[in-house]
């Protein structure tokens, strides 16, 4: 029995999205990978077609869909075997901060553009000297009258080059508690004192722009703060369950795609006149891979249901994030072995996937951090 209950509307939406991707995305993926960036025009196309920020309410230009629409978009984009249009970051990780904590003025100002693709969003937490440890963050935000002055540097910021807005986590230097000092602020592209550094060269995620961001006496309106001053840490904690679930969804979809690629190749490739898939050792390898993929899919789908029912599944999403991102790495590595010599060539689709999935165990909190969170909440 299927765990997720897709309606006819969901099914039609997936079909529409597949048709859009076949026409507007897949033909350009290799070009985007070569150029190391996806043009902003592609974001506008996918937004204009109704595939960004599916959960945003209609009064802000969205469709007000449930989380299953986000799942559909994430899965279908993963099947394009590239990560440049990382819409899940924009739609399901960054924009929810604005939806949940932004003032009505902020929502009216930014959400319609986020839905249409005219505004690409990013979130800036990681710093050169502070990765998953928010308490070590050094970027400061000092409120002066109706303005906030931000100083600091952020790194490894996805969508850093293309972003029209970035949600910046910064601390009040006068507040001693690191967890009560953090606030979240929206900084617009073009703001004086906000500068992009170099686009970072990465092992994978080639078409996804990742950059350093710098804030030097960057002045923004105080009304650009999300929520109450000092509530940034609680906001981040509240949204991390969905962020880690979104990561797990992308990872399981990638594992399924890799398994599909390698299975098809083993059926087509012949040795001594016989398909490779008829070899018992190959069959066993594929069965082992398929077993792990099916276990991961069942786990993720159950968590999607729980998340949609607003259950607290912090422990389980931490487990899923670490286990499935490790599993997809194993799957990609084993798949390349089964490809043989072809697995050394860029023409092999799993080569790109192998590079891309490697970082999944690092972002959204390293897998060591995931285990630590699970242990803490389990009372160990």
Where is 121: in which H helix or E strand? Answer: strand 121-124
Give SS3 for 312. Answer: coil
Whether 234-377 and 8-119 are alike in CATH topology: the answer is: no
Q: What Å distances lie between residue 274 and 255, 259, 277, 285, 286, CA to CA?
A: 27, 21, 8, 18, 17
Task: Assign domain 8-119 one CATH number from 1.10.540.10, 3.30.70.3040, 3.30.9.10, 3.20.20.80.
Answer: 1.10.540.10
Q: What are phi and psi of 222, to 5 degrees?
A: -60, -25
Are β-strands 182-188 and 225-226 bridged in parallel, bridged antiparallel, or unpaired?
antiparallel
At 226-271, the pLDDT tens digits run: 999 999 999 988 898 999 999 999 999 999 999 999 999 999 999 8
Q: Are 361 and 325 in contact (CB under 8 A)?
A: yes
Listed residue (354, 346, 348) closest to 34, CA to CA = 346
What does pLDDT average to over the chain? 95
Where is 100: in which H helix or E strand? Answer: helix 95-101
Mean pLDDT of the region 116-141 = 88
Q: What are phi and psi of 294, to 5 degrees?
A: -65, -40
d(CA 167, CA 94): 8
Domain 234-377 -> CATH class = mainly alpha
Tokens representing residue 356 in the block: 């891309």
pLDDT at res. 88: 96
Q: What percent of the chain has pLDDT over 90?
A: 89
Asked whether the predicted pLDDT for residue 113 surpasses 90, the reply is: yes
Active site residue 228: no
pLDDT at res. 177: 85
Enter the pTM of the model: 0.94
pLDDT at res. 316: 97
Domain-by-domain residue ranges, the chain? 8-119, 122-229, 234-377
Asked whether the predicted pLDDT for residue 132 surpasses 80, the reply is: no
pLDDT at res. 4: 95
Listed residue (48, 143, 32, 138) closest to 86, CA to CA = 32
Asked whether the predicted pLDDT for residue 314 surpasses 90, the reply is: yes
pLDDT at res. 129: 79
At 74-109, the pLDDT tens digits run: 999 999 999 999 899 999 999 999 999 999 999 999
Structure-derived torsion over alpha carbons of residues 140, 142, 146, 147, reported in degrees to the nearest 10 = -40
Mean pLDDT of the region 46-75 = 97
Q: What Å distances lie between residue 350 and 22, 188, 269, 335, CA to CA?
A: 19, 37, 15, 7
At 159-211, the pLDDT tens digits run: 999 999 999 999 999 998 888 999 999 999 999 999 999 899 999 999 999 99
Higher pLDDT, 32 or 271: 32
Please give the CATH superfamily to which domain 122-229 belongs. Butyryl-CoA Dehydrogenase, subunit A, domain 2 (2.40.110.10)
Q: Which of 33, 99, 243, 316 is catalytic?
A: 243
């Amino acid at each position: 029995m299927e765990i997720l209950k897709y309606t006819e509307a969901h099914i039609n939406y997936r079909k529409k999205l597949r048709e859009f991707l076949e026409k507007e995305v897949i033909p350009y993926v290799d070009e985007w990978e070569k150029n190391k960036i996806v043009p902003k025009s592609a974001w506008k196309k996918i937004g204009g077609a109704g595939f960004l920020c599916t959960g945003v309410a209609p009064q802000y230009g969205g469709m007000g869909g449930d989380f299953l629409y986000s799942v559909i978009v994430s899965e279908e984009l993963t099947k394009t075997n590239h990560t440049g249009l990382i819409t899940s970051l924009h739609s399901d990780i960054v924009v929810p901060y604005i939806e949940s904590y932004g003032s009505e003025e902020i929502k009216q100002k930014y959400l319609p553009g986020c839905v249409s693709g005219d505004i690409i969003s990013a979130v800036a937490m990681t710093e050169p000297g502070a990765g998953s440890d928010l308490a070590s963050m050094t970027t400061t935000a000092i409120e002066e009258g109706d303005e906030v002055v931000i100083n600091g540097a952020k790194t490894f910021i996805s969508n850093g080059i293309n972003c029209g807005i970035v949600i910046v986590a910064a601390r009040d230097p006068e507040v001693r508690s690191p967890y009560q000092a953090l606030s979240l602020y929206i900084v617009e592209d073009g703001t004086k004192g906000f500068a992009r550094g170099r686009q970072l060269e990465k092992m994978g995620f080639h078409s996804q722009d990742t950059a350093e961001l710098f804030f030097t006496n960057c002045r923004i309106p105080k009304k650009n703060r999300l929520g109450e001053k000092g509530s940034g840490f609680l906001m981040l904690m509240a949204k991390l369950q969905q962020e880690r679930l979104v990561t797990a969804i992308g990872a399981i979809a990638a594992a399924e795609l890799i398994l599909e690629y390698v299975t098809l190749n083993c059926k087509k490739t012949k040795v001594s006149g016989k398909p490779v898939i008829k070899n018992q050792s190959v069959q066993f390898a594929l069965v082992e891979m398929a077993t792990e993929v099916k276990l991961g899919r069942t786990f993720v789908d159950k968590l999607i249901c729980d998340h949609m029912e607003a259950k607290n599944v912090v422990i389980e999403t931490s487990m899923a994030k670490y286990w499935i991102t490790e599993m997809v790495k194993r799957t990609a590595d084993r798949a390349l072995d089964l490809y043989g010599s072809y697995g050394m060539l860029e023409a092999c689709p799993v080569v790109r996937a192998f590079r891309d999935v490697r970082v999944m165990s690092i972002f959204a909190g390293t897998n060591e951090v995931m285990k630590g969170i699970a242990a803490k909440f389990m009372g160990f």
